[in-house]
Amino acid sequence: MRITLKIWRQDGAGDAGRLVTYEVDGVTEDMSFLEMLDVLNEELTEAGEEPVAFESDCREGICGACGFMVNGVAHGPERTTLCQLHMRSFSDGDTLTLEPFRATAFPIVKDLVVDRSSYDRIIESGGYISVNTGAAVDANSTPVPKVAADRAFDAATCIGCGACAAACPNAAGMLFLGAKITHLGELPQGQPERDSRVINMTNQHDEEGFGGCTNIGECAAVCPKGIPLDVISQLNKDLRKAL
């Protein structure tokens, strides 16, 4: 396949960005999207040009490091992480526009790379539980109802990729925040800090420059881990109770 790429190139947060067009030939349907970009970068390097900056780590859909917009959709047309998106989802001759995630709380570092450390600061503000040091507690010493355990595990699958905030017209990080609040709040071990957690993490979310949720649902539609929209309802319920 031959693919035309219009890629956002930007040297840094304070620099003006622009779309630059590239042609990539010899693309196979079995290539992942990032492997296709690897081919482009090899060609750019051989030509003495600056390769396109993008993030990746595990390339197995686990870590959430990869992610940018493909034709205006976070992670592209399939509901998966970008590293797991394959070129079979496209056709020969397609033109694809690649842009970084757009959110005030995700400043551009370079090209398709954004700084998502705002998520880390939200976690630091309260996304933890207090436990005693020493030997591990027996697994059966604290019973957890199956319904609560399943809901906690479902919420805990959030990988913090940032697609939810990038897809939201308000650039809200509420799906991410709701997932972190829900997966700890459903467990007995998460109860001591439950009220302070939701207050502190919500305040940090707002301080980072994320917008507010207006229940449009774009966040859940693009989430590669299928985090349900109702974690935001749980977040709001906990916040009202804590206040």
Q: Classify domain 3-110 by CATH number.
A: 3.10.20.30
User: pTM of the full predicted structure?
Assistant: 0.93
The 3-state secondary structure of the chain reads CCEEEEEEECCCCCCCCEEEEEEECCCCCCCEHHHHHHHHHHHHHHCCCCCCCCCCCCCCCCCCCCCCEECCEECCCCCCCHHHCEHHHCCCCCEEEEECCCCCCCCEEECCEECCHHHHHHHHCCCCCCCCCCCCCCCCCCCCCHHHHHHHHHHHCCCCCCHHHHHCCCCCCHHHHHHHHHHHHCCHHHCCCHHHHHHHHHHHHHHCCCCCCCCCCHHHHHCCCCCCCHHHHHHHHHHHHHC
pLDDT in tens, 63-117: 999 999 999 999 999 999 999 999 999 999 999 999 999 999 999 999 999 999 9
* Domain covering 116-130+142-242 assigned CATH 1.10.1060.10 in the classification: yes
Q: pLDDT 10s per residue in the chain (243 long)?
A: 999 999 999 998 888 899 999 999 999 999 999 999 999 999 999 999 999 999 999 999 999 999 999 999 999 999 999 999 999 999 999 999 999 999 999 999 999 999 999 999 999 999 998 877 788 778 778 889 999 999 999 999 999 999 999 999 999 999 999 999 999 999 999 999 999 999 999 999 999 999 999 999 999 999 999 999 999 999 999 999 999
Give residue limits of the domains in the chain.
3-110, 116-130+142-242
